[in-house]
Amino acid sequence: MTKDSIALLQNYIDEASLIAFFGGAGVSTESGIPDYRSPEGTYSEMEKRDLDPEVLMSKRYLLQHPEDFFERRRREKAAKPVYPNAAHRYLADLEQAGKDVRIITQNVDGLHQTAGSRYVLELHGTDRYWYCMECERHFSYEELAYDERGIPRCHIDQGIIRPAVVYFGEHPDRRLLEKSRETIRKADLLIIAGTSLTVNPAKNLIRRFNGDRVVVVNTEPIDTGKLPVDLFIQHPIGEIFSQLEVNQPKSSRR
């Protein structure tokens, strides 16, 4: 990382009319949330214990082994609270200043919204609310009531209440995917951060970009296919964004 890279990124952001920020798990690691596919990531840790994440994190497993599924969820929630980091805050501040920033995230933690961002497309759903699998009533995590087996149940029909997350074996909402494609297509600056780009729909969505500049901020190099990259910064995203300024968009300067 050099001062020249930071200055160039600042210039790209200041000049852009519409910024599409495409983020993955690496955006939230500086908030204390493990990523998935790094050596210390959630998937890697499961595989070290001869566990298959695609089995344990699937709708089928939820239905067949609900006690184990929700016990693991409770252990995750019992960890220390997490808060937005510099990356989340910078994007929210940029939008608040009048810049058109549109976030497409593979994360389910809701930290972009907590930071204040108002345009967030969550490809893999969200952990901010849960819903009854029978009647689809919505619940916050704090509202959950458990039966004697430790399974959250709806107080109306006793249906299982699950997170509004897209698990293995499920598909993202088609309307959300189309909105994500349109967002990337319209943007003149695409920032790809904290993602391996190894799974769909992530690796296909970026192909829709027809704008001016592509920036990748990631701790490891990634394959963007035929999409050319104008700037690659191999560094944690929060540390990079903490060095950027929130400047008033040119169209609104006087």
CB contact set of 81 (below 8 Å; sequence gap of 6+):
none
Residue of 65, 88, 112, 124 marked catalytic: 124
Tell me what pLDDT residue 44 has. Answer: 59
> Residue 238 falls within a domain, yes or no?
yes
Tell me what pLDDT residue 56 has. Answer: 86
> Residue 233 falls within a domain, yes or no?
yes
> Residue 232 falls within a domain, yes or no?
yes
> Residue 95 falls within a domain, yes or no?
yes
CB 187 within 8 A of CB 213: no
> Residue 92 falls within a domain, yes or no?
yes
Total domains in the fold of the chain: 1
Alpha carbon distance 103, 205 (integer Å) = 13
> Residue 55 falls within a domain, yes or no?
no
Average pLDDT of adjacent 10-residue blocks, the chain of 254 residues: 89 97 95 72 64 85 95 77 95 97 96 98 94 96 94 97 94 94 97 90 89 96 93 96 90 47
Whole-structure pTM value: 0.90
Tell me what pLDDT residue 75 has. Answer: 79
Strand partners, 131: 138, 162
Residue 104: domain span: 1-33+83-124+172-254
> Residue 75 falls within a domain, yes or no?
no
Task: Identify the CATH number of the domain in which residue 118 sits.
Answer: 3.40.50.1220
Tell me what pLDDT residue 202 has. Answer: 77
Active site residue 155: no
What DSSP line would sit under 39-95, residue for residue?
TTSHHHHHHHTT--HHHHTBHHHHHH-HHHHHHHHHHHHTSPP----HHHHHHHHHH
Tell me what pLDDT residue 78 has. Answer: 63
Tell me what pLDDT residue 194 has. Answer: 94
Alpha carbon distance 90, 103 (integer Å) = 12
> Residue 114 falls within a domain, yes or no?
yes
What DSSP line would sit under 93-155, residue for residue?
HHHHTT-EEEEEES--S-HHHHHT-S-EEETTEEEEEEEETTT--EE-GGG--B-TTS-BB-T
